[in-house]
Amino acid sequence: MSLENKIKSEIKNNGFVTLDRFIEICLYDVESGYYIRNNPIGKRGDYITSPEISQLFGELLGLYIIDYWNNYIRSEFALIELGPGKGTLMKDLLRISKEFKEFYKLINLKLVEKNKKLELIQKKLLKVKSKDVNNIEWLEDIKNINNDNFIIIANEFFDCFPVKQFTKINGQYYEKIVKYNEYEEKFFFDKIIIKDNIKNIVADIFKIRKFHEGDILEISFEKDNYLKTIGNKLKCGNGLLIIIDYGDYFSKGKSTIQSFYSHKLTNFLDNPGTQDLTHKIDFSSIKKIFTDMSLKVYGPFTQKNFLESIGIEERKNQILQNSSSDLKKDLIDGYNKIINKDEMGEIFKVLIVSTKKINLYEK
Ligand SMILES: C[S@@+](CC[C@H](N)C(=O)[O-])C[C@H]1O[C@@H](n2cnc3c(N)ncnc32)[C@H](O)[C@@H]1O
């Protein structure tokens, strides 16, 4: 059955699907979900990410985690990447870290990936490039990883999680749902009144955030649970989590869901399973999860500020000294794209979560 028919049949049985269920089917359906079937990343895909734009991105993250490891771990550890895409970030990170032999030989590399097509691309790239890394393992979920020490990197991972939307109209709380119009042959948004237990959660958050009538609250329970699983692992062991994603310091009470096909914004409900469905991260809610767990949380910093603070300009200048003019142009273009305020430098943010206090940020 096609993905569209699967959604229609669920709507026929239940009268509707909730927004997060619609996203879940479109992205993760076991047969035809977008993140199960496609290779969406790159010029020929639907979007491009920072590590695909510049080698500096993975290299700088490498240098940052080596420094963390030197100060706070210094023993065997799991280096985990959530949603490694084409494997480029990890390739660049491993290349630079090879020079730090003690660090390199204690890596247990774990790649958490749901997309089998991307997993194959990662295997091809990383098995060749990292022959002498202790062991490499691919997993579908972080909950299956049990090490004492962790360094976890998630670039553009959490914006993939299915999200719910709630609003308040005339004192009544509603959830966004999707229905199908048989006559016009298209999906459309609608809303239903929400029930008691979830209504209390939503009403509390509306109050805490000082949201008004008509504002939109986005919540991904699945994402929150995933973050709590990571938080528990950090608490029981020792380590670092770096989250990089596009989003806001605080939710502005507006809808942030978007869909992309071939680098263009599209209609969210069209062509299920063939386009990327995403939302902007509300960093304040992620921060709260980890501070509530008594972990050390730093940031969010803009991608520009974070990369500059850890030496991206110096690294760029170092590479430029030994590059041909073509390479120089690519390097400078890539650097500008990931750093510039009106490109990826400001909308992308970096959040650091650590078991131990990081001296650099404790002033
Ligand atoms: C937006 S891409 C980012 C890729 C890569 N981090 C980069 O920066 O190029 C999201 C990645 O996460 C994977 N992914 C999405 N949801 C996932 C999930 N729930 N569990 C594991 N992998 C997931 C996708 O297949 C893809 O590799």
Mean pLDDT within 258-278 = 93
Q: Which atom of ligand 1 is nearest to the CA of 155?
A: 6
pLDDT tens column, 178-197: 999 999 999 999 999 998 78
pLDDT at 168 over 90: yes
Cβ–ligand 1 distance for 157 under 6 Å, the answer: yes
Report the separation in Å between the CA atom of 82 and the middle of ligand 1, taken as the mean of its atom positions.
7
Q: Which of 21, 236, 35 is nearest to 146 (CA)?
A: 236
pLDDT tens column, 200-224: 999 999 999 999 999 999 999 999 9
pLDDT at 257 over 80: yes
Atom 11 in ligand 1: residue holding the nearest Cα? 83
Domain boundaries, the chain: 3-32+164-219, 37-162+220-361
Residues β-bridged to residue 172: 169
pLDDT at 327 over 90: no
The per-residue pLDDT for 70 is 96
Report the separation in Å between the CA atom of 325 and the middle of ligand 1, taken as the mean of its atom positions.
33
The 3-state secondary structure of the chain, one letter per residue: CCHHHHHHHHHHHHCCEEHHHHHHHHHHCCCCCHHHHCCCECCCCCECCHHHHCHHHHHHHHHHHHHHHHHHCCCCEEEEEECCCCCHHHHHHHHHHCCCHHHHHCEEEEEECCCHHHHHHHHHHHHHHCCCCCEEEEECCHHHCCCCEEEEEEECCHHHCCCEEEEEECCEEEEEEEEEECCCCEEEEEEEECCHHHHHHHHHHHHHCCCCCCCEEEECHHHHHHHHHHHHHHHHCEEEEEEEEEEECCCCCCCCCEEEECCEECCCCCCCCCCEEECCEEHHHHHHHHHHCCCEEEEEEEHHHHHHHCCHHHHHHHHHHCCCHHHHHHHHHHHHHHHCHHHHHCCEEEEEEECCCCHHHCC
pLDDT tens column, 90-136: 999 999 999 999 999 999 999 999 988 899 999 999 876 666 666 88
pLDDT at 307 over 70: yes
Gap between the Cα atoms of 221 and 13, Å rounded: 24
Q: Which atom of ligand 1 is nearest to the CA of 154?
A: 6
Report the separation in Å between the CA atom of 16 and the middle of ligand 1, taken as the mean of its atom positions.
28
Report the separation in Å between the CA atom of 156 and the middle of ligand 1, taken as the mean of its atom positions.
7
pLDDT tens column, 6-27: 999 999 999 999 999 999 999 9
Q: What is the mean pLDDT of the chain?
A: 93
Gap between the Cα atoms of 127 and 100, Å rounded: 19
Gap between the Cα atoms of 153 and 94, Å rounded: 13
Cβ–ligand 1 distance for 156 under 6 Å, the answer: yes
Cβ–ligand 1 distance for 300 under 6 Å, the answer: no
pLDDT tens column, 30-83: 888 998 876 778 777 787 899 999 999 999 999 999 999 999 999 999 999 999
The per-residue pLDDT for 134 is 61
Mean pLDDT within 134-146 = 87
Mean pLDDT within 333-358 = 96
Atom 12 in ligand 1: residue holding the nearest Cα? 83
Q: Which atom of ligand 1 is nearest to the CA of 81?
A: 6
The per-residue pLDDT for 210 is 92
CATH classification code of 37-162+220-361: 3.40.50.12710
Q: Which of 222, 316, 305 is nearest to 23 (CA)?
A: 222
Mean pLDDT within 239-245 = 97
